[in-house]
Amino acid sequence: MDAATGKGTLRFITCGSVDDGKSTLIGRLLFDAKSILDDQIQALVNDSRTYGTQGERIDLALLVDGLQAEREQGITIDVAYRFFATEQRRFVVADTPGHEEYTRNMATGASSAQLAVILVDARKGVLTQTRRHSRIVAMMGIRHVVLAVNKMDLVRYDRAVFDRIDAQYRAFAADLGFASIQSMALSALEGDNVFTASGNTPWYRGPTLMSYLNAFEIDAPVLAASFRMPVQSVNRPNADFRGLCGRVAQGEVRPGDRIKVLPSSVQTQIASIVVWQEELEAAASGDSITVTLRDEVAVGRGDMLVAADDPPEVADQFEARLLWMSKQPLLPGRAYLFKLNTQEVTASVTDIKYREDIDSGSQLAARTLALNEIARVNLSLARPVVFAPYSDNRTLGGFILIDKLSFETVAAGMLVFALRRASNIHWQALTIDRAARAASLRQSPRCIWFTGLSGSGKSTIANLLERRLHAQGLHTYLLDGDNVRHGLNRDLGFTEAERVENIRRVAEVAKLMLDAGLIVLVSFISPFRADREMARSLFNEGEFLEVFVDASLAACEQRDPKGLYAKARRGELKNFTGIDSPYEAPLAPEVHLQSTSTAPEMLAEQIAQRLEIKP
Amino acid sequence: MIDHRGLRELESESIEILREAIAGARRPVMMYSTGKDSSVMLHMARKAFYPAQPPFPLLHVDTTWKFREMVNHRDRMAAESGMELIVHTNQEGLAAGVDPFTHGSSYYTDVMKTQALKQALDQHQFDVVLGGARRDEEKSRAKERVFSFRAAGHRWEPKAQRPELWNLYNTHIHSDESMRVFPISNWTELDVWQYIAQEDIPIVALYFARMRPVVQRAGTWIMRDDERLPLAPGEVPQMRKVRFRTLGCYPLSGAIESEASTLDQIIAETFAARSSERQGRLIDSDQPGSMEKKKQEGYF
């Protein structure tokens, strides 16, 4: 155990194609490390009779395949974490799924690992999944790989087979940037070269898997890396104590150290490091602590405390690598939540530079991303964040994207570098501002956003409302979906991705018009909730009115003023909202109009009542 | 003997998780069963938010069949920490006389633990529930997330779990959904004991070997904590030197014969153990895929 104190816990993953024997290998490690206890062995014997794939023998894979569905189907679905210890150190091993559809779980296992054991079936050699997993392993920042050529017993321990696979893999992995690749000739089932050197492979000169894992040196953190601590929360039990809680992401900290609070850049000093009823002399990377500061400065969750003489970069535009993890495709322009350590801001992908073919590594053009696809993208954030490139520090450069409506985790990403664009194109501060323009027009600018099915009466009502406002002497503009598609958006079609871009452009135009002091009426089907929320987020509180023009699909279809429903039903029009493309009704619109039962004049009047547009 | 560096890594990770859970919570609560894992959790919660009080109450689901010493320890620790303690019992189950003997351990656990827990969570509108489950306890728990998402009705869907990368936790939920959070997911039984020794954390005396009145049931020793435990005709409880590796309802918690009466001896025994700690838990093996089924229904 004392030796374990020196080596530190080793976190590693096993991965590889389905049926390469990952679960069996972990079962073997646990079994031979005596981490399997008597009652678990008895349960294993029973389970092997029911579910086993090894005939009369114990099926070691059943030790790790814990879910009923996995045991019945004989496959690993979800990542499992296992713990064992030797005289040398503690181990945490993530057993990750081989099936392509569960790749996101594999990336999850890889994110916290320092080493990857990639299994290859000696009979099959390097497969698509082997390449795919190796790329994910490399992308997640794992720099050391064990190539475990497994099932050597099934190729009569043939050295030529081993050498061929070793050469094949090294050729493939040459440009993945691994610091080391250790190939091993194994049989997890028979135990060859797992714990003890096998007499079946006299030609094999490498270490056993266990001796390699015991001796493995974890990459030391960069020497003298400067202090960084994302603030998780503010601890203020009474007026005398104000502590900042967080986990040190890099470097060391001591009382008296000069620090900066980012992004505000305010400087102060560390007064004390408090942990329970004692104060610490110092804390280092990985420690959860509470610090107090010399001065009363504004700090909150999402800020970062950093060494004053070596602050990290702050930026809002990035190039990043992205692994898409949702069944819903990535849509450029759509607003997602971006979470980077304790910083959470709205972000969107402005450009997919290219999709990376996971098999060949070649760069492909893409307009969206589907589940398990990897791409290099440009990201734009609503406000700047403090960061370091992922290759320097996983905590400061690894992020997730969260869908704003379902709250599903849709992507994992790694910041590569900040785009200079943001810092070079400064916002031009204009002398005549929005308030001045609005005042000269003597009105309060508004964005009135009409949404509803085609044929629900949006344009009719918007038109009536504009006439009424105009008659009052107000300055208005009506942006109509059809009209805008003839000009500004003539390059866009009707796929989901293009609809998102369509709405993004119109929302930005409406925003400029609001700046100009106008009352803008926007009449667009705008079928997706997330995009209307994105539009709303561009405006100040109270400036944006969502008007839901509610008519049943049947009513709209019967009306069919442009004959579009008939066309769509005949299959001549693809992606038509309500027919083969969904409409997501607003949950809490400012104005909800039932357009089938009331005359459009009355409905326009209803909206006018809601508007308070005098300055 | 104690791996202080390993424990410090584990403690720091757990405290980070506790703070993340609270940062994203509307109304958090911590499960407190008084067992060794709960004791570690309570200790770390107090550390994580020191000098403030942990910003949540403790919840104990009392089946009325807990060891008397556990109930005493619970009240003592709540008083010492100054934290609010909520004790909830399924009153309908109690009125119906549901017990572990006549109704079987599976039905009993569902009514007095799972249903009781859901009642308490609904009644108090808790959205984030901190628990002391560990991945090394049981196979389906090895697959559990640190932030385990529960759909409406507290249901656990293994396939609806969110990927957890790095130490980044997606804590967002809708109003009818909830999160179960397991800060000591990556600890082993041995880690727990070593941490208790290192930090000098008070624990229930039932973990230490003592002479106790026991009867043999299903190959394990059951302690007769009170006269409600039915005896077979002619059966007389015998005094044996036993201790418990896990604690729950006394008629369902098997004791092991042991001489370990100090923490050091417990640690040495855990090191050398040839059976798993949940071996004494009768409810884990009462049906195939037992734990997974109980979890889907909302068991902790």
B162: chain A residues, CB-CB within 8 Å? 408-409
Position of tokens 């009392």? B62
In CATH terms, the superfamily for domain A228-307 is Translation factors (2.40.30.10)
CA B228 from chain center: how many Å? 23
Residues in A closer than 8 angstroms to B285, CB to CB, are 43
Q: What is the DSSP letter of A87?
A: S
Q: Which of A46-60, A540-554, B38-52 has the lowest mean pLDDT?
A: A46-60
Nearest-angstrom CA–CA distance, A473 and A478: 15
Nearest Cα residue in chain A from B171: A407
Closest chain A residue to the Cα of B20, Cα to Cα: A232
Contacts of B246 in chain A (CB under 8 A): none
- Interface probe, candidates B134, B159, B168, chain A, greatest A C-beta count within 10 A: B168
Pairing outcome for strands A180-185 and A304-307: unpaired
Say if the Cβ atoms of B47 and A275 lie within 8 Å: yes
Q: How confident is the model at residue B81, as a pLDDT? A: 92
Predicted pLDDT of residue A484: 86
Chain B contact present for A288, CB below 8 A: yes
Angle at CA A498, nearest 5°, toward A496 and A503? 95
- Write down the domain spans for chain A: 2-215, 228-307, 314-421, 434-610
B132's tokens: 């002391």
In this predicted structure, what is the pLDDT of residue A31? Answer: 73
- Closest CA–CA distance from residue B234 to any residue of chain A (Å): 31
For the structural domain made of A434-610, what CATH number should be given? 3.40.50.300
Give the per-residue pLDDT at B4: 80
CATH superfamily, domain A2-215, is P-loop containing nucleotide triphosphate hydrolases (3.40.50.300)
Q: Answer yes or no: A187 catalytic.
A: no
CA–CA gap between residue B142 and residue B186 (Å, rounded): 9
Across the interface, whether the CB atoms of B162 and A68 are under 8 A apart is answered no
At A608 the pLDDT is: 87
Across the range A42-55, mean pLDDT stands at: 63
Contacts of A77 in chain B (CB under 8 A): 158-159
- What ipTM was estimated for this complex? 0.88
Mean pLDDT of A519-534: 91
pLDDT at A55: 60
Are B170 and A37 a contacting pair at CB < 8 A? no
3-state DSSP assignment of residue B29: strand
A107 in contact with chain B, both atoms CB, cutoff 8 A: yes
**In the prediction, which pLDDT does A472 show?**
85
CB contacts < 8 A, A to B, total: 163
pLDDT tops 50 at residue A3: no
pLDDT of residue A258: 96
Predicted confidence at residue A425, as pLDDT, reads 46
Mean pLDDT value across chain A: 86
A90 contacts B168? CB cut-off 8 A: no
Which is more confident, B73 or A424? B73
Judged against a pLDDT cut of 70, whether residue A265 lies above it is answered with yes
Which band of pLDDT confidence, cut at 50, 70 and 90, is reported for residue A75? very low
Position A426 scores a pLDDT of 44
Name the A residues in 390-409 with CB < 8 Å from any B CB: 394-395, 398-400, 402, 407-409
Higher pLDDT, A339 or A278: A339
* CATH superfamily assigned to domain B4-192+288-296: HUPs (3.40.50.620)
Regions of chain B with pLDDT less than 70:
1-2, 139, 273-300
Distance CA B37, CA B193 (A): 9
A472-482: average pLDDT: 89
Task: Give, for A468, the enclosing helix (H) or strand (E).
Answer: helix A458-471
Per-residue pLDDT, A261: 94
A228-307 and A314-421 in the same fold: yes
Does the distance separating the beta carbons of A107 and B48 come in below 8 Å?
Answer: no
Residue A32 pLDDT class (50, 70, 90 cuts): confident
> What pLDDT score does A4 carry?
39
User: What is the rounded average pLDDT of the residues A428-445?
Assistant: 79
Find the range with the poorest average confidence among A182-186, A334-338, A540-544, B274-278.
B274-278
Q: Which residues of A touch B161 (CB under 8 A)?
A: 78
Looking up tokens 């090294």 gives A170
Could you tell me if B82 lies within 8 Å of chain A, comparing CB atoms?
no
Q: Check residue B272 and give its pLDDT.
A: 74
CATH 2.60.40.10 fits A314-421, yes or no: no
Catalytic residue, candidates A526, A537, A552, A597: A526
Is A286 in CB contact (< 8 Å) with chain B?
Answer: yes
> Which residues of chain B neighbour A75 with C-beta distances below 8 Å?
none
- Is A288's CB within 8 Å of B167's CB? no
Position A387 scores a pLDDT of 95
Give the C-alpha separation, B221 to B240, whole Å.
9
Question: How much of chain A exceeds pLDDT 70, in percent?
Answer: 87
Top pLDDT among A70 and A149 is at A149
Has residue A208 got a pLDDT over 60? yes
Q: Distance from A374 to chain B by nearest Cα, in Å?
A: 16
pLDDT tier, A54 (very low <50, low <70, confident <90, very high otherwise)? low
The confidence score (pLDDT) of residue A615 equals 40
Residue A5 pLDDT exceeds 70: no
**pLDDT on residue A61:** 65
Peptide bond into B51 cis (omega under 30): yes
Please tell me the predicted confidence (pLDDT) of residue B296. Answer: 63
Question: Which residues are registered as beta bridge partners of A83?
Answer: A92
| Cα atoms in the 13 Å half-sphere on the side-chain side of A535 | 32
User: What pLDDT does A105 receive?
Assistant: 77
Q: What is the pLDDT of residues A97-137, one digit of tens each?
A: 656 566 777 888 899 899 999 999 999 999 888 888 898 89
Query: How distant is the Cα of A345 from the closest Cα of chain B, in angstroms?
Result: 13
A67–B140: do the CB atoms touch at under 8 Å?
Answer: yes
Q: What is the percent of chain A with per-residue pLDDT over 90, rounded to a whole number?
A: 52
Q: Indicate the pTM of the whole model.
A: 0.78
The residue of chain A nearest to residue B170, with distances taken between CA atoms, is A409
A347-375, pLDDT tens digit by residue? 999 999 999 987 778 899 999 999 989 99
Greatest Cα pair distance in chain A: 96
Q: Higher model confidence: residue A196 or residue A34?
A: A196
User: Where exactly are the structural domains of chain B?
Assistant: 4-192+288-296, 203-285
Q: Which residue has the higher pLDDT, A427 or A248?
A: A248
Distance from CA of B97 to the nearest CA of A (A): 33
Task: Catalogue the E-assigned strands of A277-425.
Answer: 278-279, 283-284, 288-293, 304-307, 313-324, 336-340, 343-356, 363-364, 374-387, 398-402, 409-418
Q: Which of the given ranges, A69-78, A199-208, A420-429, B138-147, has the highest pLDDT on average?
A: A199-208
Task: Quickly state the pLDDT bin for A26 (edges 50, 70, 90).
Answer: confident
Q: Which residue of B has its CA nearest to A95?
A: B143
pLDDT beyond 90 at A442: no
